[in-house]
Amino acid sequence: MAAPEVSARGVEAILDTVVLQLLDNPDRTFVYADLAFFVKWWQELHEDTKAAVRYLVQQGRFEFTGGGIVQHDEATSHYSGMVDQMSLGMRFLQAEFGHTPKIAWQLDGFGHSSSEPLLKSMGGFEAVFFSSEAYGSESDLFTSQYPTGNYGPPSMTWFFERRNDYGKPQAESVKDDPETNSYNVQEVVDDFVEKAQEWQDCVQGNDVYFFIGSDFTHSDAHMWFNNVDKMIHYVNKDGRVNAFYSTPSRYLAAKRATPGLALPLKTDDCFPYSANEQGSDYWTGYFTSRPTLKAQVSS
């Protein structure tokens, strides 16, 4: 199937540039959650660009995760609101792309409830990225907790964003011209390998995954993908680890294909949530704050 051409209209949008970069290199992948912004972008798209996105989704290189309008809170929201917002997003994806996600995405929650895997397993999900409880083997879900406690790159040397909305230093690009003083390939490779080996102790099996991006990143998608292309190339040339573009679905498939993989079963909530390693910054106030508003939401 030939890749559809993309209209040049509206290329200022982040997603427009992402689509163009995905079409430029068939090895690249991109994962998208929280449909609230995507739906607004989609409603204004030229049909040529819609065709290109559908093509990438069909290939498995543009992957939707979660499927809801937002990543709902798990601690204080009522189940009816959780179901409604998930249903709204799922209906949109089914109507526009003919399928719905099988990977649940709860990376921006502040703690995790034992009710979440029950909701997700009833919705046909196969895995949830973060931690949750299962209710019997028929509703067991593969879960994965990101080791940093966040959902961005594991090292700021991989944060290739021109904007500085995050108060973080912009990463140096991968400089691979050995005749310049800024040549940094070995530093980039060593950093990548160090993180891969460090995270190996956090997971079962040989595969680890890194998120390359964060909230509202990829304003210059070419810069992101170009640097990641180089990073993957030189890491594989080094040979200590094998790096490649992936998606949550591909990661789950790799885990399932690992011979003799034995996974532990977690059977309790992840509350209260603490925002630091010392366990002194617990997010407990939002359980009891604004009780009148919460009563109205759940009534």
Q: Catalytic residue numbers? A: 108
Region of 124 please: left (phi>0), alpha (psi -120 to 50) or beta.
left
What is the Cβ-side half-sphere exposure of residue 105, based on CA atoms within 13 angstroms?
Answer: 24
What is the Cβ-side half-sphere exposure of residue 296, based on CA atoms within 13 angstroms?
Answer: 3
Amino acid present at 42: W
Amino acid present at 158: W
How many secondary structure helices (H) and strands (E) does the chain include? 9, 5
115-122, long-range: CB within 8 Å, 24+ apart, which pairs?
A: 115/74, 115/79, 116/74, 117/141, 117/143, 119/79, 119/82, 119/83, 119/86
CA-nearest of 159, 153, 174 to 232 is 174
How many Cβ atoms are within 10 Å of 260's Cβ, its own excluded? 5
Alpha-helical (H) ranges within the chain are 14-24, 35-43, 47-59, 79-97, 115-122, 185-199, 221-238, 248-256, 291-298
